[in-house]
Structures are given as C-alpha cells and as structure tokens.
Amino acid sequence: MTGRPLTIGTRGSPLALAQARMTASALEQAHGWAPGSVTIIPVKTSGDRIQDRPLAEVGGKALWTKELDLALLTGETDCSVHSMKDVESERPKTLAIAAMLQRADARDRLIGAGSIQALPERAVVGTSSPRRKAQLLRLRPDLDIVSIRGNLDTRLGKLQAGDVSATLLAAAGLDRLGRAETGTAIALNEMIPAPAQGAIGIECRADDAVTAAWLRAIDHEETHAAVLTERAFVRALNGTCHSPIGAHAVIEGGRIRFTCEILSEDGGERVVDCAVFAVGDLDTPAEMARAMLAGAPDSIRHLFDAA
C-alpha cells in the first residue's frame, strides 16, 4: 500500500459488514495489497437507532447515510460502502460515488410460501417496504400486510415464531449472509425490484482523487450504468427508498432495457412502462418518470407531491 492505509466506513449490521468485507477484499486483490490491510470502521446510523417503527413513518432522508457522510467529510474514513438501494438519489456535491460492485441477484425472495399465489387466503405477510406491500396487494388484495423491521435474523425469527406467515427479502442480502437456500425467488416481471436493489456502491470525497482512482479499479461498468438509470428515474419522481417504486435496468446488446412502475399504496392502481435506450442516457428515464406521473391517478400522484 502506498502512503496511508485505506479506511472504509460502513453501517454495523451483519449485512453491511459483509458488504464492507467484500469491498475490502476486492480492493486488496485489485491492487495487490496484503489481505486485511484495508480497515473497516463501523458507524452507527440514524436508521439503525430507530427499531420500533417503520422508517417510512419516521420520514426524512439520509437515515442510512448521514453519519457515514460525516465520518467521510471529517476524514475519519476514506470511503463509505452502501447498499445503493438505501442511498437517497440526491447526494451532497462534496461526495462522489466512485464505484459499484457487480450487481448480485436483484430479485426479491418470498419466505414462507412457494409462490405469491400459493399463500393462504388472507395470510399475514410481514414487510415494511411500501413497494413490496403495494406489489403484493396488487397481486393478492386479500393479504394482510403487517410491518416488520430489524435485521435479517430478527425478521426470520418473527416468521419462525409465527408472527407472520411469510415475508419478502432481497435475494442479494440473503445470499451475502450465507442464506442462498432461503426462500423462493420472485420473477423480475412479477415484482419489479426496488431501484438499485442488489448493488453495492462505494463513495468517497469528491476532491479525493487518490481514493477515487483506487475505487475505479473495482468498478463494474454495466452495474454502474444500470443503477444510474434507475436512480435518474427515482430522482425525477422526487421519490425515496420509501416510495412504492419498482425500477430495473439491464444491459442487453449494448443498450439499456429499463422497466419501471409506480403504484398506489394499496396496489389498487399502477402505472408501468418499459423502454430501450442508449447506455448513459439519463434523460430518457427522467422523461419516463414525468410522463408516468402526469398520467397517473391521484392515488399515485399524491405520494410524490410532498417531497
């Protein structure tokens, strides 16, 4: 390592720590640094402190990033590792997302039943994601959706205890915590994932060219382009990670294929669109967002007014 050791700021949850370790190893490998030479610094975030109610209710942005941003801006850390899904679409100008690791499985997995159709009539399903709730209710209006929070083990514990008969979790998170066998994947066209689901991003200070260059060596370009597309859609909606938005981009034949939807809270209404356009074109997803909102019923439109 040249000069100084690199430090990574991360949330302290088991998933966040696993993602920070993946990032540290990727950096050590890419640059021929000794294993363990990148230091991981856990930082407690507002989102971690609030365990008793749905975050959608608490409101406010930057629940997962504020304290990590502070550690970065004060020089305590050199970069922050994030689940891109939890990173608000507007970031401080003083920071830059310099790299994204290759996206893992972007799908949700259903745990507790073999498929959404196989859930018993009026089954209780635990999720505090407004997107998952709306998507589930659209397919199965009879379901009783209840809020559950906490880390993966807490949620699986509530399922085990019979508090809920099923839950949905991101495949990427389950896989990274060694639970590749848990649950059944829901097809991408049955439930469009959250924007940036399955992608890990690494952010550094905008004026730190040394760290930025180190990070660029582990950037996965296709993931980066796809996630920027999804984030451009969210930004144009004025959405947050608590809005009922599905958005998923893939690169096919050198072009972006982008599928997106916005839903009313009870899933009773939705607007969906799909388009193919050039990689790097962030105007088209923004334009799609504005057109979808303009044509959406009030039950959807009001969700994006307040922001």
Ligand X SMILES: NCc1[nH]cc(CCC(=O)O)c1CC(=O)O
- Do the Cβ atoms of 67 and 44 come closer than 8 Å? yes
**Is the CB of 148 or the CB of 271 nearer to ligand X?**
148
**Is the CB of 13 or the CB of 264 nearer to ligand X?**
13
**Cβ 191 to ligand X shortest distance, Å:** 12
**Cβ 83 to ligand X shortest distance, Å:** 4
**Cβ 172 to ligand X shortest distance, Å:** 4
**What one-letter code names the amino acid at 174?**
L
**Cβ 223 to ligand X shortest distance, Å:** 11
Pairwise CA distance, residues 50 & 58, whole Å = 9
- Do the Cβ atoms of 170 and 246 come closer than 8 Å? no
Residue with the CB atom nearest ligand X in the bound state? 173
Choose, from 69, 78, 86, 208, the residue flagged as catalytic.
86
Among 78, 86, 105, 261, binds ligand X (CB under 6 A): 86
Give residues 185-244 in contact with ligand X (rule: CB under 6 A): 197-198
**Is the CB of 176 or the CB of 270 nearer to ligand X?**
176
Q: Work out whether 85 is an interface residue with ligand X (CB under 6 A).
A: yes
Q: Work out whether 83 is an interface residue with ligand X (CB under 6 A).
A: yes
**Cβ 13 to ligand X shortest distance, Å:** 9
Q: What is the layout of strands, in order, in the sheet containing 255-263?
A: 245-252, 255-263, 270-278
- Do the Cβ atoms of 10 and 41 come closer than 8 Å? yes
- Do the Cβ atoms of 225 and 250 come closer than 8 Å? no
Cα angle for residues 274, 89, 18 (degrees, 5° grid): 100
Catalytic residue flag (residue 266): no
Q: Work out whether 260 is an interface residue with ligand X (CB under 6 A).
A: no
Give residues 87-146 in contact with ligand X (rule: CB under 6 A): none
Q: Work out whether 82 is an interface residue with ligand X (CB under 6 A).
A: no
**Is the CB of 229 or the CB of 281 nearer to ligand X?**
229
- Do the Cβ atoms of 38 and 70 come closer than 8 Å? no
Site string for ligand X, 159-178 (x = CB under 6 A): ----------xx-xx-----
Residue 28: CB atoms within 10 Å = 17
Q: How many residues bind ligand X (CB under 6 A)?
A: 9
The stretch among 25-33, 79-87, 136-144, 183-191 that binds ligand X (CB under 6 A) is 79-87
**Cβ 251 to ligand X shortest distance, Å:** 18
The stretch among 83-91, 181-189, 225-233, 265-273 that binds ligand X (CB under 6 A) is 83-91
Q: Work out whether 183 is an interface residue with ligand X (CB under 6 A).
A: no
Tell me how far CA of residue 246 lies from CA of 6, 51, 109, 124, in angstroms.
35, 25, 15, 22
Q: Is 276 exposed, middle or buried (0-12, 13-18, 19+ CB in 10 A)?
A: exposed
Would you please indicate which residues are annotated as catalytic (active-site) residues?
86
Binding site for ligand X (CB under 6 A): 83, 85-86, 169-170, 172-173, 197-198
